[in-house]
Amino acid sequence: MLRFTAEEPVRPWHRYQQWYAFPLYGLASLSWVLRKDYVKFFQRTIGQYTPPAHPRREYWNLFGYKALYYLIFLAVPYVVLSLTWWQLAVGFLTLHLVMGLVFQLAHVVEGTAFPVPDETGDLPEAWAVHLLRTTANFAPHSRLASWLCGGLNRQIEHHLFPRVCHIHYPTLSPIVQQTAHEFGLPYLENVSFWGALCSHYRVLYQFGRPT
């Protein structure tokens, strides 16, 4: 349905992907919530890797917290608020549409690279270098964006320091940027949400046509 890399063949419908892509992003987020996490949890192999059996507490982490999520975002609003089922559905779908869009603005924008493995299946650069080339921040100085996205607008720091609370990203960001420049590596940012959105639109437009 969507073409994000020059290695994929161009299909006739890709010419219009800059228009129909945005509603589809919500489906990716919904898939995580309703399907993908369960599939991944019970998947016997991940590529060539066979993960060990999950400890019992991980079953609780999956099913318990999933149930809590459904309770908080679906059951409680329906019971507490004066909402019809379709109003709740519209709000829930809107939430996931925006959530799915966030990840595209952090990875599929102008300036980000789309490296492919070599003939042996390996990527040539270290993980952190690969991350800097394929990731971009957006609206990094917007408190509203940081609050709404939970810090995911600073996607570079989010990936580099996954165990650090996002409230520390504004302090980490200048350090990461300076270090990247010292080693001749990119540190990509779109200063606003709108700028990132327009950049993503242009990338979709570009990939929708033969190169």
Q: How confident is the model at residue 14 (pLDDT cuts 50, 70, 90)?
A: very high
pLDDT of residue 116: 86
Q: What is the spatial distance between Cα 76 and Cα 94, in angstroms, rounded to a whole number?
A: 18
Residue 159 predicted with pLDDT over 90: yes
Q: How confident is the model at residue 177 (pLDDT cuts 50, 70, 90)?
A: very high
% of the chain exceeding 70 in pLDDT:
100
Residue 166 predicted with pLDDT over 90: yes
% of the chain exceeding 90 in pLDDT:
70
Mean pLDDT within 106-116: 92
pLDDT of residue 99: 83
170-to-99, 139, 143, 148, 187 alpha-carbon distances in Å: 21, 12, 10, 15, 14
The count of other CB atoms within 10 Å of the CB of residue 208 is 20
Assess contact for 34 and 41: CB atoms under 8 A. Answer: no
pLDDT of residue 88: 93
pLDDT of residue 122: 86
Assess contact for 135 and 112: CB atoms under 8 A. Answer: yes
pLDDT of residue 46: 78
Residue 48 predicted with pLDDT over 80: no
Residue 47 predicted with pLDDT over 80: no
Mean pLDDT within 178-184: 96
pLDDT tens figures, 80-92: 999 999 999 999 9
Distance between start and end Cα atoms, the chain: 18
Assessment of whether the complete model's pTM goes beyond 0.85: no
Among 124, 145, 123, which residue's Cα sits nearest to residue 189? 145
- Which stretch of 38-52, 139-153, 174-188 has the lowest confidence by average pLDDT? 38-52
Mean pLDDT within 56-75: 94
Domain ranges (residues) in the chain: 12-52+84-207
Assess contact for 3 and 15: CB atoms under 8 A. Answer: no
Q: What is the mean pLDDT of the chain?
A: 92
Q: How confident is the model at residue 119 (pLDDT cuts 50, 70, 90)?
A: confident
Burial class (CB in 10 A: 0-12, 13-18, 19+), 131: middle
Mean pLDDT within 41-56: 86
Assess contact for 112 and 133: CB atoms under 8 A. Answer: yes
